[in-house]
Chain A
Amino acid sequence: MSWYDKLLQVDRRWIFLAIGVAVVVPFFVPLGLPVIVTEPVQGLYDAVESIPPNDKPLLLSIDYAPATLPELEPMALAILRHAFRNDVNVIVMTLHPAGYGLAERAVRGVAEEMEQVEGEDYVFMGFTPGVSAPILGLGVAIRNVFPEDAYGTPLDEIPMMEGIRNYDDIPLAITLAGWSAAEAWIYFAREPYGQQVGAGVTAVMATDYYPYLDAGQLQGLLGGMRGAAEYEVLIEREAKGVKGMDSQSVIHLLIIVLIVLGNVAYFAQRSARRKMALEDA
């Protein structure tokens, strides 16, 4: 068997093992590779930064599920830290049934870390079913969609919700979603109401959202764990996003090497087969 046949038939479990090693090693031997901030992430950071402190709240819709946690939770934590650092109040909600526990965990964890008071600095609305209906409903009246917070306290009894009626009182809504909820915020909040929207999505979906970013329909876009890492660099609080970037870079290099080797072997095999066919003829 020639070298190119061996290469093309290598047991894929060796590749899995190589990738496994490439993921694990940087956890023990950090490389400290730099994370360069890109324009879409800077756009979202600037949008959050421009919200005046102790005034109108940021709306953060944590619409992800456990399956996309590694990419989207670092974004949620970074945005919450940014908002709380700037004394910006935050309304947290979720449109995903499995997102209830994750959203609660994120906001309570960061609030405790940064000594924020529930009801004064943040409010957790919980889960509401549907996608288009609640997003449209928030534009009419928040109290129509969430008459009370996740723990049963009527919104009128929550100090930070005084005077906050609908999108007119929300300078920015950010959705973090690994499914079509991110698009729904553009269709049903941005277009009908002119609500400023930012999005954090999985890297898979990021390419779908660049047209909206270019057209000005999104204030900013975070794509995958890389987007979370860039945001952490901007808020100067490195966490799981940045931590994963070393492994990410090493694996990408490995995959590039494998792709090159695979292509070289493929074309060598094809060329050899053509030669054999000509000789036989």
Chain B
Amino acid sequence: MSHHIIWTTIGAILTLSIYSFLYKDNPFYKFAEHLVVGISAGYYLVIYTFNFIVPNVARPVFGLELGGEAIRFAGLEWWMALIPGLLGLLLYARFFPKFAWVGRWPLGIYVGGYAGLGLSPVMQARVLQQMEANALPLTSLTNILLVVGLLGTLIYFFFSMRHKGVLGVFARIGIVFLMVGFGASFGYTVMSRISLLIGRVDFLLSDWLHLAGG
């Protein structure tokens, strides 16, 4: 029996085990659930180790290849690999209650660094470009609806005043547009879930059982 048939059959059995939950919770579902949790943890550990830790920290700092070599000390690149590596290790300080506070430093650098990195691009992409694109001439029904919906939604999320009077009217318009939007999004999501189901059924019928053309 070829490897392909074996692995396809294992995949099919696990697929059916997960789907058995639709009838009721059972040991097959539990087994498949725990298996996927365990395998994903192990897989991600390997991927992150060999694609992240080894090339970015271990190799530059220790000059180690898979076979192992003597430790080398080198210039700027060495320090640029060592310092972030040490900061990452400091996160494990939380296992030692007396030194747990040390772990807040790398966490702060991580959160602050990513916040700063994203500030300008996000301001551009989500605010400025959108403002430019939505300052539309009110010459068509589509444009009017878009501008009214945009204003209503912005006002709904205005927290500094109670939603009364004209503000309340715009907020109610906003929530109507929001709900219409949610409905469209829900429809899209139903489509997405059905697509995943179709994908699995295709796998079972075409790749495993060869009953339908693949």
Interface of A toward B, CB cutoff 8 Å: 13, 16, 19, 23-24, 27-28, 67-71, 97-98, 100, 126-129, 132, 136, 186-188, 190-192, 202-204, 206-207, 211-212, 214-217, 223-226, 240, 243-244, 247-248, 251-252, 255
Collect the chain B residues with CB atoms within 8 Å of residue A129's CB: 48, 51-52, 56
Task: Kindly list the 8 A-B residue pairs having the minimum CB-CB distance in the complex, ordered from nearest.
Answer: A70-B199, A215-B133, A203-B192, A187-B121, A225-B195, A97-B47, A27-B212, A129-B52
Residue of chain A at shortest CB distance from B40? A98
Q: With an 8 A cutoff between CB atoms, is B44 at the interface?
A: yes
List 11 other contacts, CB 8 Å, given A224-B195, A248-B198.
Answer: A16-B22, A27-B202, A70-B196, A97-B44, A97-B48, A126-B51, A191-B121, A202-B192, A203-B195, A216-B129, A243-B213
Number of A-B pairs, beta carbon distance below 8 Å = 126
Are B22 and A244 closer than 8 Å at their CB atoms?
no
Collect the chain A residues with CB atoms within 8 Å of residue B114's CB: 132
> Which of chain B's residues 51-66 have a Cβ closer than 8 Å to chain A?
51-52, 56
Q: Tell me the smallest distance from the CB of B65 to a CB of chain A, in Å.
A: 12
Collect the chain B residues with CB atoms within 8 Å of residue A24's CB: 201, 205
Which bucket holds chain B's interface residue count? 35 or more
Q: Pick the residue among A190, A204, A214 that contacts B188 (CB under 8 A).
A: A204
Residue of chain B at shortest CB distance from A189? B121
Collect the chain B residues with CB atoms within 8 Å of residue A240's CB: 199, 202
Q: Tell me the smallest distance from the CB of A125 to a CB of chain B, in Å.
A: 12
What sequence of 0s and 1s flags, for each residue 195-212 of chain B, a beta carbon within 8 Å of any chain A beta carbon? 111111110011000011
Collect the chain A residues with CB atoms within 8 Å of residue B117's CB: 132, 136
Q: With an 8 A cutoff between CB atoms, is B184 at the interface?
A: yes
Are B200 and A215 closer than 8 Å at their CB atoms?
no
Residue of chain B at shortest CB distance from A211? B130
Collect the chain B residues with CB atoms within 8 Å of residue A187's CB: 118, 121-122, 124-125
Are B125 and A217 closer than 8 Å at their CB atoms?
yes
Q: With an 8 A cutoff between CB atoms, is B95 at the interface?
A: no
Collect the chain A residues with CB atoms within 8 Å of residue B198's CB: 23, 70, 225, 244, 247-248
Are B191 and A252 closer than 8 Å at their CB atoms?
yes
Are B195 and A244 closer than 8 Å at their CB atoms?
yes
A27 to B200, CA, bound (A): 12
Are A71 and B195 closer than 8 Å at their CB atoms?
yes
Say whether chain A's binding surface is mostly helix, strand, loop, or mixed: helix
Collect the chain A residues with CB atoms within 8 Å of residue B52's CB: 129
A24 to B212, CA, bound (A): 10
> Which of chain B's residues 156-214 have a Cβ closer than 8 Å to chain A?
181, 184-185, 188-192, 194-202, 205-206, 211-213
Collect the chain A residues with CB atoms within 8 Å of residue B181's CB: 207
Residue of chain B at shortest CB distance from A132? B117
A207 to B202, CA, bound (A): 26
Q: Tell me the smallest distance from the CB of A98 to a CB of chain B, in Å.
A: 7
Q: With an 8 A cutoff between CB atoms, is B43 at the interface?
A: yes
Residue of chain B at shortest CB distance from A130? B52
Collect the chain B residues with CB atoms within 8 Å of residue A190's CB: 125
Given A97-B51, A128-B51, A207-B181, does the pair A13, B22 have CB atoms closer than 8 Å? yes
Q: Tell me the smallest distance from the CB of B106 to a CB of chain A, in Å.
A: 16
Q: With an 8 A cutoff between CB atoms, is B96 at the interface?
A: no
Q: Pick the residue among B51, B188, B205, B212 that contacts A203 (CB under 8 A).
A: B188
Could you jot down 28 A-B contacts, CB within 8 Å? Answer: A13-B23, A23-B197, A27-B205, A27-B206, A27-B211, A68-B196, A70-B196, A70-B198, A97-B43, A97-B48, A98-B47, A127-B47, A132-B117, A187-B122, A191-B120, A191-B129, A202-B192, A203-B188, A204-B189, A207-B188, A215-B130, A223-B188, A224-B195, A240-B199, A243-B202, A243-B213, A244-B199, A252-B194
Collect the chain B residues with CB atoms within 8 Å of residue A188's CB: 121
Collect the chain A residues with CB atoms within 8 Å of residue B77's CB: none
Chain A CB within 10 Å, residue with most, of B52, B125, B211:
B125
Q: With an 8 A cutoff between CB atoms, is B69 at the interface?
A: no
